Amino acid sequence: MKSLTKSLNIIGAGKVGRVLGRQFSQHQVFHLGQVCNRSLASALDALQFIGAGEAISDMAQLQPADVTMLTVPDDQIQASCAALLELGLLLPGSVLFHCSGAKASTELAAASALGVQIASLHPVRSFADPAALAANFSGSICSIEGDAAALIILSTALNAIDAKVVEIQAENKLLYHAGSVFASNYLVTLMETALQAYQAAGIPRETALAMAQPLATLSLDNVFKLGTAAALTGPIARGDMQTVGLQQQVVERWDKTAGDLYQAFIPPTIELAARKKTL
């Protein structure tokens, strides 16, 4: 794959920065410049994972790069952008992008005002295990939005690492990210609630895990194989609302938060069950 020959600095190389940094380095998409973390030890650790670059712990040590990637926490994006501008590290025509799922490229408006091309890039993957993800990143969907010139560079880079690119609108970023939260983060919370319910019913956690795993795995497999309506089973799908009512009361007595969660799922599940009947 032909290199873009552009230099890349990474600010805040945590899980996301390390995975993307390794992809860009291994596929020779960018020339890895500097990796700046809060501590030198953290930066060196990130470098070991990425496999290229120079580790630093002070933005004042940075040299300007063609492309700068911010993989800092969401609440630090604007401050990081401001610090880079104050140090004169963002040149007109260079590219600055962040990797937040919820924040839009408009967080970098201060840089845009000075002629910097801005964007956001969000890999739609779970980063719980960075090493495993880095080894299996091919085919990952990455959502991007921002200035046209920045998007050309990011699209080319993502295509080079065999990612799939989806362009979204900045104004839809929060709602888009909510979809990922439902599909990933809250799914984990829901599974924890299920395990706690099993345990409250006297079932050891290890056994509860063994019971929940085939249910959850097969349900998700059916969603992507058959569609959500066809995959729905259980009392609401059967029209057994008496059981649903009694069960909601039991859950409510056991745990108020879990009871509220159970109740919240009833209306959308009724709607989904109605769609199932039309199939």
Q: Supply 243's token pair.
A: 């059981």
Same domain, 29 and 155: yes
Mean pLDDT of all residues in 248-257: 98
pLDDT digits (tens, 9 = 90+) for 71-84: 999 999 999 999 99
**CATH number, domain containing residue 209:** 1.10.1040.20
Mean pLDDT of all residues in 126-130: 96
Task: Determine, yes or no, domain membership for 181.
Answer: yes
Same domain, 164 and 193: no
Same domain, 103 and 22: yes
Same domain, 53 and 163: yes
Strand ranges across the sheet with 30-36: 54-56, 30-36, 6-11, 67-70, 95-98, 117-123, 141-146, 164-167
Task: Determine, yes or no, domain membership for 272.
Answer: yes
Same domain, 147 and 42: yes
Q: Of 168, 187, 212, which closes a domain?
A: 168
pLDDT digits (tens, 9 = 90+) for 1-42: 444 589 999 999 999 999 999 999 999 999 999 999 999 999
Q: What is the 3-state secondary structure (H, E, C) of 159-189?
A: HHCCCEEEECCHHHHHHHHHHHHHHHHHHHH
Q: Of 145, 168, 191, which closes a domain?
A: 168
What's the angle, vertex CA 139, arms to CA 133 and CA 142, rounded to 5? 85
Q: Of 168, 198, 217, which closes a domain?
A: 168
Task: Determine, yes or no, domain membership for 42.
Answer: yes
Residue 252 has a CB neighbour count (10 Å cut-off) of 15
Would the CA dihedral through 112, 114, 117, 119 be positive or negative? negative
What's the angle, vertex CA 27, arms to CA 21 and CA 33, rounded to 5? 45
Task: Determine, yes or no, domain membership for 1.
Answer: no
Task: Determine, yes or no, domain membership for 205.
Answer: yes
**CATH number, domain containing residue 96:** 3.40.50.720
Mean pLDDT of all residues in 173-179: 95
The pLDDT of residue 4 is 53
Same domain, 23 and 150: yes
The pLDDT of residue 1 is 42
Same domain, 150 and 195: no
Same domain, 238 and 110: no
Same domain, 162 and 229: no
Same domain, 129 and 190: no
The whole domain housing 28 covers 6-168
Domain count, the chain: 2
The whole-chain average pLDDT of the chain stands at 96
